[in-house]
């Protein structure tokens, strides 16, 4: 049985300040929870009797059987899930030496948790292990962000830093997207030690970060110069740029 | 003033069956509404006195001044918007001749309206004017989809068809993404008259559509063969594939 106190505790983790204070976040659904279980420390797991019977070997500090109705009360999802778990937010520090020698994504004030989670998932696909977020970004452990990241949140380290102070210490080239940038496909060489800086959904890269950008990129629309849509969604633009950076060299 | 009856009517358009019956949909917010106004027929517009004073020349069959509080009652958004408008859903028929000679996106059972709207926006950026949706896809005129499309819904024609019957009549090559597909960047030639078929968020391309696929694509992860993340979000994958098809030939 899932107690009212537990439901209240789970709901409290919808708020960033509680997640931050308790270092905990919520993940829901079979696929996501089973992907996170071997990778993260699980503080609490609640599931239907059927689910628990199917997965008798799961590791969690505390396990509670619950009815679908109880799970529904605890859930953030529209459709009730058969399993919900509370995981510990890992305490990671940025590895400066790694960042100086690898491709990293930096996000400037990304507001939508869904975009942020989708970018975490995309970073994981393209072997980008670190996401540097400005302090104004949405929280990567927001339930919507966690769901969109599809388990990649366990593999991609997300750090909230003052980008304007942190980025210059890395001494790697910074690529940013601008409408007046240079065609992404005209760069003869996209380095594998660099920062890809993506700007806010409405306002792009903020004034204080613009001076840090060494190379201005532009994803060419089609036909060239048609300027129909004003822009691409930031997570789509991130995907296209990551794909271009990671494109095998033999074909470029 | 915004009457209760009007608020009820606006809310009724949250349901697909009402949108379909009335051929109407709702758009909210200054940016989206002003982008749609010159391109679509506006049945009703409601806005604050300040907004209406700033835009005295707008064209709409009916205009109502409203307080922010009234707008908030009518709104689907978390944050109240200063303008909301009801537009007519255009009655478009697929242009077979056009489809036989151009790049087209086809979506198989895409469930998330946000993904669908983001794909509409991406199609617009890449000059793809037609989206063929299976009848099981989310509705492109769902408020979430409209908001995600950012006005591109006025330029990209979305048709709901039985893909398994419609696609073969076009006689163009069909490209689909599969985990066992061929590296996207190893195709010597990506034609500009083709169908890019994208599958459902969880299940990919359905069994009945698989036989229609002539070329199986795969977006390579990095490092190759690492297989960390299970997949990319479908709208991200769509963006990367569209970018590859539209990449200027001089650099490929």
Q: Quick check: A152 contacting B, CB < 8 Å?
A: yes
Distance from CA of A1 to the nearest CA of B (A): 30
Q: Which of A223, A239, A248 is opposite residue B220, by nearest beta carbon?
A: A248
Q: Quick check: B191 contacting A, CB < 8 Å?
A: no
Q: What percent of chain B has pLDDT over 90?
A: 90
Residue A251 confidence (pLDDT): 43
Judge: B219–A183 Cβ closer than 8 Å, yes or no.
no
* Mean pLDDT on A95-122: 98
The rounded distance, in Å, linking the Cα atoms of A236 and B118 is 8
H runs (alpha helix) in chain A:
4-12, 16-22, 30-36, 49-54, 68-74, 96-100, 113-125, 143-149, 163-170, 234-246
Nearest chain A alpha carbon to B252: A252
Asked whether residue A111 falls in the same domain as residue A209, the answer is yes
Asked whether residue B208 falls in the same domain as residue B226, the answer is yes
CATH number at residue A50: 3.30.1330.30
Summarised one tens digit per residue, pLDDT across range B76-85 is: 887 878 999 9
The rounded distance, in Å, linking the Cα atoms of B251 and B241 is 16
Task: Please state, rounded to an integer, the average pLDDT across all residues of chain A.
Answer: 95
For B35, the token pair is 């982008």
pLDDT over threshold 90, residue B251: no
| CA distance to A29, A61, B164, per residue, from B205 (Å) | 22, 39, 12
Asked whether residue A103 falls in the same domain as residue A210, the answer is yes
* Mean pLDDT on B122-140: 98
Q: Which of B118, B151, B185 is opposite residue A233, by nearest beta carbon?
A: B118
Asked whether residue A27 falls in the same domain as residue A121, the answer is no
Q: Which of A220, A237, A248 is opposite residue B248, by nearest beta carbon?
A: A220
Residue A97 confidence (pLDDT): 97
Residue A250 confidence (pLDDT): 54
Q: Quick check: B236 contacting A, CB < 8 Å?
A: yes
Asked whether residue B129 falls in the same domain as residue B243, the answer is yes
pLDDT over threshold 70, residue B51: yes
The rounded distance, in Å, linking the Cα atoms of A117 and A37 is 18
For B21, the token pair is 């019956």
Predicted confidence band of residue A78 (pLDDT cuts 50, 70, 90): confident
Neighbours of B148 (CB within 10 A): 24
Task: Please state, rounded to an integer, the average pLDDT across all residues of chain B.
Answer: 95
- Spell out which residues of chain A touch residue B126, defining contact as CB-CB under 8 Å: 221-222
Ramachandran region, residue B159 (left: φ > 0; alpha: ψ -120 to 50; beta: rest): beta
Provide the greatest CA pair distance for chain A. 61
CATH number at residue B194: 3.40.1280.10
Summarised one tens digit per residue, pLDDT across range B153-169 is: 999 999 999 999 999 99
Judge: A235–B235 Cβ closer than 8 Å, yes or no.
yes
* Probe site for chain A from B155, B221, B233, B249 (most A CB atoms < 10 A): B233
| Structural contact between residues B214 and B173, judged by C-beta atoms closer than 8 angstroms | yes
For B30, the token pair is 């200054």
Distance from CA of A29 to the nearest CA of B (A): 13
Neighbours of A191 (CB within 10 A): 12
Summarised one tens digit per residue, pLDDT across range A44-69 is: 999 999 999 999 999 999 999 999 99
Asked whether residue A107 falls in the same domain as residue A67, the answer is no
Nearby residues of A54 by Cβ (< 8 Å), 6 or more positions away:
none
| Structural contact between residues B193 and B102, judged by C-beta atoms closer than 8 angstroms | yes
* Mean pLDDT on A234-240: 98
In DSSP notation, A61-114 reads S-EEE--HHHHHHH--SSS--SEEEEEEPP-----HHHHHTSEEEEESS---HH
Question: Pairing between strand B174-183 and A215-218?
Answer: unpaired
Peptide bond into A223 cis (omega under 30): yes
Predicted confidence band of residue A189 (pLDDT cuts 50, 70, 90): confident
Sheet of strand B83-88, all strands in order from the earlier edge strand to the far edge: B24-28, B83-88, B42-47, B63-65
* Probe site for chain A from B222, B223, B246 (most A CB atoms < 10 A): B222
| A65, A88, A111 - which closes a domain | A88
Which ipTM score applies to this complex?
0.95
Asked whether residue B101 falls in the same domain as residue B83, the answer is no
Asked whether residue B83 falls in the same domain as residue B172, the answer is no
Q: How far apart are the first and last CA of chain B?
A: 58
Residue A105 confidence (pLDDT): 98
**Domain tally for chain B?**
2
Q: Which of A152, A222, A226 is opposite residue B229, by nearest beta carbon?
A: A152
| Structural contact between residues A143 and A175, judged by C-beta atoms closer than 8 angstroms | no
Asked whether residue A121 falls in the same domain as residue A198, the answer is yes
Summarised one tens digit per residue, pLDDT across range A217-227 is: 999 999 988 87
| Structural contact between residues A191 and A173, judged by C-beta atoms closer than 8 angstroms | yes
Structural domain for A55, as ranges: 4-88
Encode A197-216: b = buried (16+ Cβ within 10 Å), e = exposed: bbbbbeebbeeebeebbeeb
| B88, B120, B149 - which closes a domain | B88
Asked whether residue B228 falls in the same domain as residue B195, the answer is yes
| Structural contact between residues B160 and B135, judged by C-beta atoms closer than 8 angstroms | yes
Nearest to B218 by CA among B164, B186, B182: B182
Summarised one tens digit per residue, pLDDT across range A138-178 is: 999 999 999 999 999 999 999 999 999 999 999 999 999 99
* Mean pLDDT on B111-122: 97
Asked whether residue B112 falls in the same domain as residue B202, the answer is yes
Q: What percent of chain B has pLDDT over 70?
A: 99
| B72, B88, B104 - which closes a domain | B88
* Probe site for chain B from A114, A228, A250 (most B CB atoms < 10 A): A228
Nearby residues of A162 by Cβ (< 8 Å), 6 or more positions away:
A134, A135
Residue A215 confidence (pLDDT): 97
Asked whether residue B172 falls in the same domain as residue B105, the answer is yes
């Amino acid at each position: 049985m899932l107690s009212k106190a537990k439901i209240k505790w789970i709901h409290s983790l919808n708020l960033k300040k509680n997640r931050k204070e308790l270092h905990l976040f919520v993940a829901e659904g079979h696929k996501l929870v089973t992907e996170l279980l071997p990778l993260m420390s699980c503080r609490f797991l609640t599931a239907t009797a059927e689910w628990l019977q199917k997965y008798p070997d799961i590791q969690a500090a505390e396990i509670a059987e619950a009815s679908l109705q109880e799970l529904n009360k605890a859930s953030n999802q529209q459709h009730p899930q058969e399993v919900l778990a509370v995981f510990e937010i890992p305490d990671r520090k940025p590895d400066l030496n790694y960042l100086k020698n690898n491709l990293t994504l930096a996000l400037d004030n990304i507001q939508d948790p869904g975009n942020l989670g989708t970018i975490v998932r995309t970073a994981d696909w393209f072997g980008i292990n670190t996401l540097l977020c400005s302090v104004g970004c949405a929280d990567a452990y927001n339930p919507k962000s966690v769901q969109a990241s599809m388990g990649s949140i366990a593999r991609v380290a997300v750090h909230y830093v003052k980008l304007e102070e942190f980025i210059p210490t890395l001494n790697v080239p910074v690529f940013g997207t601008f409408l007046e940038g240079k065609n992404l496909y005209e760069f003869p060489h996209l380095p594998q030690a660099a920062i890809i800086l993506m700007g806010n959904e409405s306002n792009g890269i903020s004034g204080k970060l613009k001076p840090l950008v060494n190379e201005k990129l532009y994803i060419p629309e089609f036909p060239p110069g048609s300027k129909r849509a004003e822009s691409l969604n930031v997570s789509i633009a991130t995907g296209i740029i990551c794909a271009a950076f990671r494109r095998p060299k033999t074909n470029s």
